[in-house]
Structure 1
Amino acid sequence: MAQPLPIDAVLPKLCAVIAAQGQAVLQAPPGAGKTTRVPLALLEQVAGRILMLEPRRLAARAAAERMAETLGEPVGATVGYRIRGEAKVGAETRIEVVTEGILTRMIQSDPDLPGVGAILFDEFHERSLNADLGLALALEIRSALRPDLILLPMSATLDAAPVAALMGGAPVITAEGRSFPVEVKWRERPLPKGQRLAAAVADLVAEAVAETEGGVLVFLPGEGEIRAVQGMLTGRFPETCEIRPLFGAMPFAAQRAAIAALPDPRRRKIVLSTSIAETSLTIEDIRVVVDAGQSRRARFDPGSGMSRLVTEKVSRAEATQRSGRAGRVAPGVSYRLWTKGEDGALAGFAPAEIEAADLAGLALELAQWGSADLAFLTPPPEAAMAEARALLRALWALTAEDRITDHGRALAALPLHPRLAHMLMTAGPQAAPLAALLGERDPLPGAGADLGLRLGALSEQRPAPDASRAALARIRTEAKRLARGLPQRPAMSPAEMAALAYPDRIGQRRPGDEPRYLLSGGRGAVIRSDDALAQARFIVATDLDGGGREAKVRQALRIEESEIRALMGDQIGWETICAWSRRDGRVVTRKHEKLGALVLADQPWPDAPPEAMAQAMCDGVRQLGLRLSGAAARFRARVELVRAGDADLPDMRDAALLDGLEDWLAPHLSGVRSAEDWKGFNPLPALQAMLDWGQTQRLNEAAPAAFTTPLDRKIPIDYDGETPSISLRLQEMFGVTQHPMIGNTPLRVTLLSPGHKPVQVTTDIPGFWVSSYADVRKDMRGRYPKHNWPEDPTVAEPTLRARRKP
């Protein structure tokens, strides 16, 4: 360790804290040296191996090489590394730099981690899902199995207090960074709308090269943008400038060349990199940073059903880290492709991956662990976890009680999304090309939705554009790796294999001219009408745009109904439908053969139970409305009037009746199946049946249904108004000397002429006889001379007839 680094000043204190308490949180800015100095410093006091997690494969290999070089040894001696598909470790290895998924597999395989003395979480501030899970598992192991296990999260920008609290109050050690001043240059105006990012970055790089000296590090979101900017810069600079891309999918030799110093100090290096260069990597000779202000992050994409890399604006913390790259060896300059005003709108920190990523893999790991009650810095969202477990049940990885199955354990052992792992384990090596293809970005963008075109190009049966050959070659290599060691399975079509991974994405074309589909999971999807798949009756949608109720199909395969039945036969079953149809205005009864939301066959159901039909008609009544009138309305009004003083009577207001239709109405709906039937239905018996004998007696006593006239006719009493009322011919009340009453309430009586026109409304018939009757008699005698209009109606006989002729 000849060259001093800022981290050296805190190493004694860190070692003392680790020796005393066995855990700590280390804060150290980029360039402080924590990645390569801390593991070596802990070698003497850690009994066993030291595992250091790195989020990226390139950083893991580079860190191992740097530490091995410091010790004067080859990689694989004291210091080694393990990444997916590659390992350089030996019997004497004490420090293993591993990528995050490797640690999870080690813990699941042997939870007490024999031979491991310490776990270091480098770049923990990036808050990857695997790092959060790894720390949560390690904390439980330390608590239950290995109190001697040393834990040390290391971070460049993370607020360390929550991490320390999660670890039970672990000490926080802070190291100062080596800071040379960095001048930040902003754009004066925002980028014009429509301007291509690559062109704007290329112009900014040219400006930076003209104004500065030393190596230039350019941050771009991904490989595509790097290739585009590289093409625009080629031939734009003197031959002394070397343009070197740097991204994760490159061969390691090319990555190493981008990191290493140029042998000729007179030459100048321009490195076009993804966010892989933000923190732990040391890139030699960099004095200038050009930041495009974008980053790719793993986000759960409902369209593909898996995590997808999406392009987002960087956070302020990320921008600060990137700028700091210019000041590691000398004063530097940072050019930003956004204005100082736009900087204020950036998020302070990038969100934790657990908040937005697909949690199917996490749910599977927790099921294998046997407990979801782990200490997470950010707890996984409950809704996302429920969705993840539902998918795992569909993939046979979890039981109905969410316990892991043997198949689920096999899926967890594969470095793939559970969807693809399920497909690979079920279909065998024949599925490896499709699994590798679905796990990568589309190698033929713009080629239409048919995934078969990509498979044809992958198998070299179809020509591929030059721009796609590198991606296809990478996918072929991955397919060979995935196929190794898998047992052969019966032959399956690509569509059948895709359906294994996407049982919720089997689509059935809807009726109509537009190529619209219903997916087995219940969502809608649409394909462009000019696409080769537009006429397919069934598809398997492997990639959707994820938007709204009806998503755009980005990639899919045509599948035959016979293939669906052969593959998903155990999930296809008959479902009886007895429901109200708003469109038809009636109860419909059908039998559907269904796969999820898809209807594969539709038949009549002639023997539907009357109870089910009545229940469905109740839904129709709710849509049509109660429409109580006549005798039913009067009965309801009587009950409501009496219920005000007798709470024992049932509530017959509309809301209560509609809420309880299945109880009081359904038993009386025999033969009622449509809106037309409902119009002719008399609900009065159903309403009357809501009252028992005692309630009915009290109702009849307190609010009789009718008034008996002197001629012994029963006149229905209307209770809808404020006062109970009746209407009858005036002559029928001759001889009445006491006004009719309901309890203590006088009836409102409308007296009618022989022509049934109202002539008087009164609540005091005796008073009417002595007051207004004389004027009414005078008028009625003129209009109805054939009828009897006595001078003294109190002694006259009631009648409904005209006088007899003399």
Structure 2
Amino acid sequence: MTTRLPIEDVLPAIVASLATTPNLVLQAPPGAGKTTGVPPALLDANWLAGKKIVMIEPRRLAARAAASRIARNLGDEVGGIAGYRVRMDTKVSARTRIELVTDGVFTRMIQEDPSLEKIGAVLFDEIHERRLETDLGLALALESQAALRPDLRLIAMSATLDAAPVARALRDAPIITAQGRAFPVEIRNLPAPASGLDALAVAMRDAILDALSGGDGDVLVFLPGGAEIRRVERALQAARLADNIDVMPLFGDLPPAQQDRAIAPSIKGRRKIVLATSIAETSLTIEGVRHVVDSGLARNARYDPATGLTKLVTEKVSRAGAEQRAGRAGRVAPGTARRLWPAAAHGALPEFTAPEIATADLAPFALELAAWGVEHPSALNLLDQPPASAWNEARALLTELDALDKDGRITAHGKAMSRFGAHPRLAHMLLHAKSGTAAALAALLGERDAGPNDDVDLRPRIDRVAKFSDEPWRRIREQAKRFARQAHADFADIASEDAGETLALAYPDRVAQQRGGRGRFRLANGRGAALNERDPLAGEAFLVVAELDGAGADSRIRLAAPLTETALRRVLGPHIEEIDEIELNDAGAVVATRRTKLGALVLAEKALPKPPPDALAAALLDRVRKRGLSVLHFSDAARELQARVALLRDKDSEAWPDLSDAHLLATVGDWLTIGSARKLEEIAIEPLLRQRLDWKQAQELDARAPTHFTAPTGSRVPIDYSVANPTVRIRVQELFGLTQHPAIDRNRIPLTLELLSPAQRPIQVTRDLPGFWAGSWKAVRADLRGRYPRHPWPEDPAAAEPTRRVKPRGT
């Protein structure tokens, strides 16, 4: 007897809605059957008119598994009525009406045929994952619908989603909600493990063993990545599991056959432990799972526009992700979910995972938009706009790769790059190198882990692509052949010794030069990078780095190839410059050097004859820029002037110049006049700063923030502006007779008075002199009379004469 799925209750409403309205948002929790139930229900719709249904899945495994399930439900084989098209693997035929594709494949489809002529409906599954290419695909499909295909149906489907923003993007589409079929899942929170892979592996092992002993069924374990999966797998092997328990890894780069075994039902009498990444959170049903063990961690790619590097970051899972993971235990029966974090910490998790458009390398996205004819993402109906810094960085890279012209429009070279479905760097390399080596590198680097090998050196991997036909090298080899055909290159033209020279076409900014020690390198973009000093590549003079982890001052090199200087000059000649640099040496002498440079790397240098007379000033300015203002001599008067101007600038930033250290350093060439000085410390800074004020500002500054306070005795006492509140330190007798507290800035800022004894020792600090006279003066007077009997200490100082003298003798 077939179990009825919850999605069946809303299928009539879905069909009826799409008969009159082109767009729809479907909310359905995990297990409702939306992925396998909705596409077949639409096959006989009149509006489909025999066209295909395309369903976009976020992952290759999900696309293959869903196609298989739909085909089985229809009594057919994969590639018949239901098929799939993913990177490196396709099963479709002339009979295929339902096609499961990944988001990247859909982008290629719509770029090649913007009208989607043979497609009647596009379904975006698991749209809540907010993958960049899914967001892009939806925006392009909406444009196609508006301009070319008003009959095209677009359906956004999700398990956990704030549906309203998506419905608005789909032109106020109706929202249909299906109920779930989840069984209750008992949440058990366990103590968080200590930091480190070993501690995590031990904690996960113990939680898994506890789950195995707590009831029947299989165990699904969520870990951030392959390294953690391997650690936990070894820990379980050491634990001597029962003979009927199988341990199966599940992550994106496993061969399809191994993935299929992990998600298939267990053989009767056997149990399995599936060690999975977040690939198993959604879109998949792993038969027989009754227990979930969740590390609470996920590994995500994060792009840093400041460095141009993408790094894999291990992060805490979102609350939505944790609920998705736990729900996997309640698909077929009541289950348990063990979480390796305290219950009190759950509320501190982010509600949702950040959309990929906010954190990803946007170069591929920018190239797709340029190929579509859009110069800025604001022209598209995107769910979120990208950060401006990352967008500008992406456009700058495309311009450097000649994909965009000086006006920001796509070039013929850029159009050719966009057809590869590879990162723009790799597409640029393929088009210029036109070799099997480039095709192998592009296929390797297009995979998340560039093949199952821990070597940093890419050359052995290239050899494996050329020679081996077993998994996973077969898949990578087939992709390399496709790239070679697209680039009109001979796949047999593979030479691993050319890896560095070829790779430099893709990563000219990541050519690395050894600097002062084995394994320590400087990249052409100026950043540091490092290798284990025992690595065979650590002694190379030059490397080209394909992948870094992006962390710290010296990023760890993960993938690279060696490069000779001859090859570097040959392939990157247009990037190499000869620059004459004039600077001060440590002895203060001016020296001129001609340097041959690739970005921050110095390939050669030679001394030049004595530099021209104006070279000293340029060199002194350059030293300030490099070392900061600390190399200059700021007198007390200069610092006082800065503080006085800053006080008034806080009140009105438009009326006063910025004399802060940060601004002065950023604009040093505008104000620092070297004159006849031979050394930086000879330059008088205060007059130069005063020149930043016009005559009116100078007069107003002296009136509103004077340098001195004039006491009732006529003494001119300096005002200290270096402290939080302008302060005057003065002997208390000089203020006798003063009935108002002194202030500056038109009486708006009271001075802080540090009152001193005749011996110049502090006796009181006040910002309310009349209050002091009327209050604590009595006690202070008694103390002062005893210590300084020859000085006048009136009972009413506000009515007394100010004085700087002692009492006459005999009084």
Judge same fold: TM > 0.5, yes or no.
yes
Worse-matched range after superposition: 382-391 or 512-521? 512-521
1:475 Cα deviation (Å)? 5.0
1:329 Cα deviation (Å)? 1.9
Indicate if the aligned counterparts of 2:14 and 2:176 stay in contact, CA closer than 8 A.
Answer: yes
What amino acid is aligned across from residue 512 of structure 2 in structure 1? G
Query: For 2:203, which of 191, 200, 204 is the aligned residue?
Result: 200
1:160 Cα deviation (Å)? 1.0
1:201 Cα deviation (Å)? 2.1
Give matches, 1:497-512, under 5 Å: 497-510=502-515, 512=516
1:124 equivalent in structure 2: 127
1:167 aligns with 2:170: yes
| Alignment partners' CA distance in 2, 1:488 and 1:661 | 53
Query: TM-score, structure 2 length as denominator?
Result: 0.71
What amino acid is aligned across from residue 77 of structure 1 in structure 2? G
1:40 aligns with 2:45: no
Query: For 1:546, which of 540, 547, 550 is the aligned residue?
Result: 550
| Alignment partners' CA distance in 2, 1:58 and 1:302 | 31
1:429 equivalent in structure 2: 436
1:521 Cα deviation (Å)? 1.6
Indicate if the aligned counterparts of 1:587 and 1:617 stay in contact, CA closer than 8 A.
Answer: no
1:394 aligns with 2:363: no
Q: Secondary structure at the match of 2:105?
A: helix
**Cα offsets for 1:589-638 (capped at 9, x unmatched):** 4433332222333345559676676666666799776999xxxxxxxxxx
Query: For 1:134, which of 129, 132, 137 is the aligned residue?
Result: 137
2:294 equivalent in structure 1: 291
Worse-matched range after superposition: 248-257 or 206-215? 248-257
Q: Secondary structure at the match of 1:338?
A: coil
| Alignment partners' CA distance in 2, 1:444 and 1:180 | 38
| Alignment partners' CA distance in 2, 1:520 and 1:42 | 55
Structure 2: segments with no counterpart, 5+ residues? 636-656, 696-716, 719-811
**Cα offsets for 1:303-334 (capped at 9, x unmatched):** 99665554332211111111112212222222
2:363 equivalent in structure 1: 360
What amino acid is aligned across from residue 317 of structure 2 in structure 1? V
2:501 equivalent in structure 1: 496
Query: For 1:556, which of 533, 551, 560 is the aligned residue?
Result: 560
1:380 aligns with 2:386: yes
1:110 Cα deviation (Å)? 1.6
What amino acid is aligned across from residue 488 of structure 2 in structure 1? P
**Cα offsets for 1:539-580 (capped at 9, x unmatched):** 2223333134443434433322211111111222333335x5
Q: CA RMSD in A?
A: 4.1
Give matches, 1:325-724, under 5 Å: 325-371=328-374, 372=376, 373-427=379-433, 428-440=435-447, 441=449, 449-452=456-459, 475=476, 478-480=479-481, 482-484=483-485, 486-488=487-489, 493-510=498-515, 512=516, 516-578=520-582, 581=584, 583=586, 585=588, 587-606=590-609, 674-675=678-679
1:350 Cα deviation (Å)? 1.4
616 and 24 in structure 1: CA distance in 2 versus 1, 3 angstrom threshold: same
Query: For 1:191, which of 190, 193, 196 is the aligned residue?
Result: 193
Indicate if the aligned counterparts of 1:60 and 1:98 stay in contact, CA closer than 8 A.
Answer: yes
316 and 591 in structure 1: CA distance in 2 versus 1, 3 angstrom threshold: same
**May I ask how many residue pairs the two structures share in their alignment?**
652
Indicate if the aligned counterparts of 2:519 and 2:539 stay in contact, CA closer than 8 A.
Answer: yes
What amino acid is aligned across from residue 160 of structure 2 in structure 1? T
Indicate if the aligned counterparts of 2:25 and 2:167 stay in contact, CA closer than 8 A.
Answer: yes
Worse-matched range after superposition: 313-322 or 430-439? 430-439
197 and 443 in structure 1: CA distance in 2 versus 1, 3 angstrom threshold: farther
Worse-matched range after superposition: 545-554 or 473-482? 473-482
382 and 81 in structure 1: CA distance in 2 versus 1, 3 angstrom threshold: same
395 and 522 in structure 1: CA distance in 2 versus 1, 3 angstrom threshold: same
Indicate if the aligned counterparts of 1:586 and 1:674 stay in contact, CA closer than 8 A.
Answer: no
What amino acid is aligned across from residue 61 of structure 1 in structure 2? R
Worse-matched range after superposition: 562-571 or 66-75? 66-75
**Cα offsets for 1:471-523 (capped at 9, x unmatched):** 6676556545544554348977221012112100112334x457643322222
Indicate if the aligned counterparts of 2:309 and 2:550 stay in contact, CA closer than 8 A.
Answer: no
680 and 307 in structure 1: CA distance in 2 versus 1, 3 angstrom threshold: closer
| Alignment partners' CA distance in 2, 1:391 and 1:135 | 25
Indicate if the aligned counterparts of 2:88 and 2:478 stay in contact, CA closer than 8 A.
Answer: no
Indicate if the aligned counterparts of 2:633 and 2:683 stay in contact, CA closer than 8 A.
Answer: no
1:154 Cα deviation (Å)? 0.5
Indicate if the aligned counterparts of 2:677 and 2:683 stay in contact, CA closer than 8 A.
Answer: no
| Alignment partners' CA distance in 1, 2:620 and 2:307 | 41
Q: Secondary structure at the match of 2:341?
A: strand
Give matches, 1:218-367, under 5 Å: 218-234=221-237, 236-262=240-266, 264=268, 266-300=269-303, 307=310, 309-367=312-370
1:251 Cα deviation (Å)? 3.6
2:23 equivalent in structure 1: 23
444 and 16 in structure 1: CA distance in 2 versus 1, 3 angstrom threshold: closer
Q: Secondary structure at the match of 1:540?
A: strand
353 and 616 in structure 1: CA distance in 2 versus 1, 3 angstrom threshold: same
660 and 108 in structure 1: CA distance in 2 versus 1, 3 angstrom threshold: closer
Q: Secondary structure at the match of 1:414?
A: coil
Indicate if the aligned counterparts of 1:626 and 1:654 stay in contact, CA closer than 8 A.
Answer: no
Q: Secondary structure at the match of 1:398?
A: coil
308 and 41 in structure 1: CA distance in 2 versus 1, 3 angstrom threshold: farther
2:8 equivalent in structure 1: 8
| Alignment partners' CA distance in 1, 2:82 and 2:666 | 72
Q: Secondary structure at the match of 2:187?
A: strand
| Alignment partners' CA distance in 2, 1:185 and 1:659 | 56
| Alignment partners' CA distance in 2, 1:84 and 1:506 | 29
Indicate if the aligned counterparts of 1:508 and 1:519 stay in contact, CA closer than 8 A.
Answer: yes
Indicate if the aligned counterparts of 1:302 and 1:544 stay in contact, CA closer than 8 A.
Answer: no
600 and 253 in structure 1: CA distance in 2 versus 1, 3 angstrom threshold: closer
57 and 332 in structure 1: CA distance in 2 versus 1, 3 angstrom threshold: same
528 and 197 in structure 1: CA distance in 2 versus 1, 3 angstrom threshold: closer
Indicate if the aligned counterparts of 1:613 and 1:673 stay in contact, CA closer than 8 A.
Answer: no
Worse-matched range after superposition: 269-278 or 328-337? 269-278
174 and 562 in structure 1: CA distance in 2 versus 1, 3 angstrom threshold: same
53 and 474 in structure 1: CA distance in 2 versus 1, 3 angstrom threshold: closer
Q: Secondary structure at the match of 2:38?
A: helix
Indicate if the aligned counterparts of 2:451 and 2:472 stay in contact, CA closer than 8 A.
Answer: yes
1:34 Cα deviation (Å)? 0.8
108 and 242 in structure 1: CA distance in 2 versus 1, 3 angstrom threshold: same
| Alignment partners' CA distance in 2, 1:546 and 1:81 | 35
2:155 equivalent in structure 1: 152
Q: Secondary structure at the match of 1:341?
A: helix
2:725 equivalent in structure 1: none
665 and 180 in structure 1: CA distance in 2 versus 1, 3 angstrom threshold: closer
| Alignment partners' CA distance in 1, 2:280 and 2:670 | 69
485 and 616 in structure 1: CA distance in 2 versus 1, 3 angstrom threshold: closer
What amino acid is aligned across from residue 493 of structure 1 in structure 2? D
**Cα offsets for 1:51-89 (capped at 9, x unmatched):** 110011121122122222222233333322211123222
| Alignment partners' CA distance in 2, 1:269 and 1:663 | 71
Query: TM-score, structure 1 length as denominator?
Result: 0.72
1:125 Cα deviation (Å)? 0.7
499 and 12 in structure 1: CA distance in 2 versus 1, 3 angstrom threshold: same
Worse-matched range after superposition: 486-495 or 1-10? 486-495
| Alignment partners' CA distance in 2, 1:162 and 1:472 | 42
